[in-house]
Amino acid sequence: MFLTLILFFSSAGAIYLACEYFVNGIEWFGRRLNLGATAVGSVLAAFGTALPESAVTFMSVVFGTTPDQKDIGVGAAMGGPLVLATLGYAVVGLALLFHRRRLERDTHHIHADHVRLSRDQVAFLAVFVVKVGLGLVAFAIKPWLGILFLAAYAIYVWREIQESDTAPEEEEIELLKIRPSELEPSLKWAGLQVTLALIVISAASHVFVGQLESIGTNLQWPPHLVALLLSPVATELPEMMNALIWIRQGKERLALANISGAMMIQATIPSALGIFFTPWLFDGPLVAAGVLTTLAIVFLWQLFRRGAVDSRVLIAVSALYGVFALLIAFYFPR
């Protein structure tokens, strides 16, 4: 248990350190590609940090040889959006609350494009409702519908790049960490730093998930409790680490864009894989995850639609994850 705890905290520290290099590199990468700040967060950063959990889904649904192994991939495809829609946004609120004095903020309001964020919630909700609906019915051509989810993500990426609201030159970026002597590092150096950071994030995340499962086993928690509650939190840890780093720098727009972009990836790519290679039929816990994620998105849409979001209110959405935890622990015991 002692070794497990050492590996647990060491891997978490490695993820945070690697995310420092990742966010720094991805900002320079976006600048070299002349992408706006929002597109950097919602497309580049989100796609990069979503790779580890997407790989989990891919390996489970494509190469899994038993129903339980394939269920892991389906669970990841449903657990990821729930974690991001609840704990991910709550982390943003908590970080803003913690850094309020250092950032010299007079109010608790977040600085973001509320119209864009409210529109992102509607876009995610439209895809997510279809995703959950398909999990409730069985019919012959269902696997072909996975193509629609890939198309939806392609449209989302195109829209984000076309409508990115802020030129990268308007954002202050720290010097590239692996080339601190260069004021304007090249695309290849930024790409190298991002690639190396992602390798560390992926490896450390794998270790982190393993230790989290070991802790659950040592505490004699039921396996399904670990799989449905703890593993999704672990796989979404890089997005939350990115949010902490960007908010510390006063860039909550990038933090929020990263979370909303990662949510759109989770609603489309892992879902497409699951629909292609599994029956994609939901049991009680997965339906509960779908309902609570939907409630979280509706709540967030209402907040952003009003045009002024209090960081303290943003924290409240985490209560829905607490509801899910109670349901899994007591209403869906195995």
pLDDT digits 0-9 by tens, 147-174 = 999 999 999 988 888 876 554 445 678 8
**Cα distance between residue 128 and residue 48, in whole Å:** 21
* Sequence-separated (6 or more) residues with CB below 8 Å from residue 32: 186, 187, 190
Q: What single letter denotes the amino acid at residue 218?
A: N
Phi, psi of 109, rounded to the nearest 5 degrees: -75, 140
pTM of the complete model: 0.86
* CB-CB contact of 220 with 31 (8 Å): no
Between 262 and 107, the more confident residue is 262
| First-to-last C-alpha distance (Å) of the chain | 25
DSSP 8-state code for residue 310: B
Q: Show the tokens assigned to 82.
A: 């729930």
Burial zone of 133 (CB within 10 Å; 0-12 exposed, 13-18 middle, 19+ buried) = exposed
Q: How confident is the model at residue 317 (pLDDT cuts 50, 70, 90)?
A: very high
DSSP 8-state code for residue 109: B
How many Cβ atoms are within 10 Å of 91's Cβ, its own excluded? 24
**Cα distance between residue 318 and residue 4, in whole Å:** 27
* Sequence-separated (6 or more) residues with CB below 8 Å from residue 113: 38, 165, 253
Whether the predicted pLDDT of 290 surpasses 90: yes
DSSP 8-state code for residue 278: S
Query: What pLDDT is attached to residue 131?
Result: 93
